[in-house]
């Protein structure tokens, strides 16, 4: 296929996807996978792949801001990555220093008030990387219109373990009562600054696993996950929009599931309980966003009309 025709097809497809996307997740987390494989395929060295991936990262930030994402977390360097060859890591650390400082000084970061934060075991990184992290965080500390989290020397299990140890120590020292431990207690100990629950994880590169990434905020929130085959340097806006569409489809499915459960509860109660049950369902409806109220109304109407795709006469969700 000729290159110009391929570009035209991609542009048309991107336009179709843009029209299909009607909302945006609040927090998107990306596993930037495939930089080294991309470089090998092109006959280049690993640092060339990392540099190409950094260009994709800048584009993704623009796309997030275009559709209304408020927080982006990038899995940039895991604790397992320390096992890679020293010379490869040293070049990656140089690139991180360059990009962190460059980004912290960029006009668009200050125009859009982007707050740059690092999460992970930052103290394990070389001093020059720690200094670049401090510089980027200090330059954008007052910004919160958009949050960019850079996961460096990061491991999800290790963060949970450290939080558990901190809670245990606080209880042993008498600073915290066991009955006071709640979700917020753990979250305050995970990161220096609050991190929103993750709505969507995107992983390019062909691997279908989330690699211990933000387990508390992603698994706990039942985040949608989008896997795709392009390596990170090849990741396109169409791929990004496909990920957003996956999130939207999952949200719609979850809204209908919640609505079906509410109707099933209503139908399972006896006639004597119906007025109270109706009151419960009405309160449930009032607490829902507009889109979810519509799903509940649709199911109630289907119940009254005997729609086989809705709720059966006993109030149970039809198969």
Rounded CA separation 137/131 (Å): 10
Residue 296 has pLDDT above 80, yes or no: no
Closest C-alpha among 45, 83, 51, 70 to residue 233? 51
Domain 24-235, CATH homologous superfamily name and number: Decaprenyl diphosphate synthase-like (3.40.1180.10)
Q: Is there a catalytic annotation at residue 81?
A: yes
Global pTM reads: 0.74
Decide: helix, strand or coil at residue 207. coil
Q: Which residue has better confidence, 67 or 290?
A: 67
> Cβ–Cβ contacts within 10 Å for residue 256, how many?
16
Two tokens, residue 135: 């510089």
Give residue 37's Cα distance to chain centre: 24
Catalytic residue among 33, 48, 199, 303: 33
Average pLDDT, the chain: 82
Spans of all domains in the chain: 24-235, 252-305
Cα–Cα dist 213/211, whole Å: 5
Active-site choice (44, 45, 81, 298): 81
DSSP 8-state class, residue 154: E
Q: What is the DSSP string of 69-138?
A: --EEEEEEEEGGGGGS-HHHHHHHHHHHHHHHHHHHT-HHHHHTTEEEEEES-GGGS-HHHHHHHHHHHH
Contact yes or no for 72/116 (Cβ under 8 A): no
Tokens 């394990």: give the residue. 124
Q: Cα separation of 95 and 255, whole Å?
A: 43
pLDDT at 63 > cutoff 70: yes
Give residue-wise pLDDT tens across range 65-92: 999 999 999 999 999 999 999 999 999 9
- Banded model confidence at residue 277, pLDDT cuts 50, 70, 90: low
């Amino acid at each position: 296929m000729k290159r110009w025709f391929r570009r035209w097809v991609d542009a048309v497809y991107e336009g179709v996807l843009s029209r299909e996307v009607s909302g945006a997740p609040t927090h998107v987390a990306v596993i930037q996978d495939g930089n080294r494989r991309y470089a090998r395929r092109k006959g280049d060295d690993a640092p060339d792949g990392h540099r190409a991936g950094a260009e994709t990262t800048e584009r993704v930030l623009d796309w997030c801001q275009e559709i209304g994402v408020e927080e982006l977390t990038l899995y940039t360097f895991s604790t397992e990555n320390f096992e890679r060859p020293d010379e490869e890591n040293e070049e990656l650390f140089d690139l991180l220093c360059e990009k962190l400082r460059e980004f912290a000084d960029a006009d668009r970061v200050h125009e859009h008030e982007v707050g740059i934060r690092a999460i992970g075991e930052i103290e394990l990184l070389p001093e020059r990387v720690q200094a670049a992290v401090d510089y980027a965080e200090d330059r954008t500390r007052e910004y919160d219109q958009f949050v960019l989290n850079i996961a460096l020397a990061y491991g999800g299990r290790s963060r949970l373990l450290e939080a558990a140890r901190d809670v245990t120590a606080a209880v042993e020292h008498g600073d915290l009562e066991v009955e006071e431990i709640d979700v917020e207690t753990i979250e305050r100990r995970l990161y220096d600054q609050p991190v929103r629950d993750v709505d969507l994880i995107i992983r390019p590169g062909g691997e279908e696993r989330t690699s211990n990434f933000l387990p508390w905020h992603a698994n706990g929130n039942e985040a949608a996950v989008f896997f795709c085959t392009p390596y990170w340097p090849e990741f396109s806006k169409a791929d990004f929009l496909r990920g957003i569409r996956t999130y939207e489809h999952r949200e719609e499915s979850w809204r209908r599931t919640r609505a079906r459960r509410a109707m099933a509860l209503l139908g399972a109660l006896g006639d004597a309980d119906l007025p109270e049950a109706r009151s419960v369902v009405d309160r449930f409806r009032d607490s829902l966003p507009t889109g979810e109220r519509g799903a509940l109304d649709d199911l109630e109407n289907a119940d009254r009309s005997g729609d086989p795709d809705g709720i059966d006469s006993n109030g149970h969700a039809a198969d």
